[in-house]
Homo-oligomer: A and B are copies of this chain.
Amino acid sequence: MLDTDLLWLEHLRFDPQGLIPAIAQDYRDNTVLMLAWMNREAILATLSTGEVHYWSRSRQQLWHKGATSGHIQKVKEIFYDCDADAVLLKVEQIGGSACHTGARSCFYRQVPLPHWKLPSDS
């Protein structure tokens, strides 16, 4: 990999803890699998291996996603947003589930919504 290919990394706006939120999305059907955090080290480890590494805020260490469970995430595409303070990872989720609960996505809890009185309801 050429050094010039890492120039985008200099544009990222990390927070005061050196972290940036990263969304992992299934590259096939666009399901959002999880949101976790990366620092520069995690991004470099992800780029060098092709497997997603996050920064574990609870353990304060580099987290090779799936290293224990086997449920690794293979990188297909990476994007960052207009103000360069969030990352989107399109991944192949090995083992089917991204969540430690065994759910496919960590976003498995749905919120009850009120019935809004929209014009189209009337």
Q: Is the CB of A32 within 8 A of B88?
A: yes
Contact A110 B25 (CB under 8 A): no
Contacts A1-B114, A23-B35 hold; do A108 and B82 have CB atoms under 8 A apart?
yes
- Chain B's closest residue to A6 (CB) is B112
A88 neighbours in B (Cβ, 8 Å)? 32, 107
**Contact between chains at B99 and A82 (CB < 8 Å):** yes
Q: Oligomeric state, in number of copies?
A: 2
A94 at interface, CB cutoff 8 A: no
A18 contacts chain B at the CB level, 8 A cutoff:
no
User: A3 to chain B: closest CB distance in Å?
Assistant: 11
Q: How far is the CA of A108 from the CA of B31 in the complex (A)?
A: 18
Determine if A106 is an interface residue (Cβ-Cβ < 8 Å): yes
- Kindly list the 3 A-B residue pairs having the minimum CB-CB distance in the complex, ordered from nearest: A30-B30, A50-B116, A1-B114
14 A-B residue pairs with CB within 8 Å: A1-B114, A8-B111, A23-B23, A30-B31, A32-B32, A32-B88, A34-B81, A47-B114, A74-B118, A77-B111, A78-B110, A78-B111, A79-B110, A81-B109
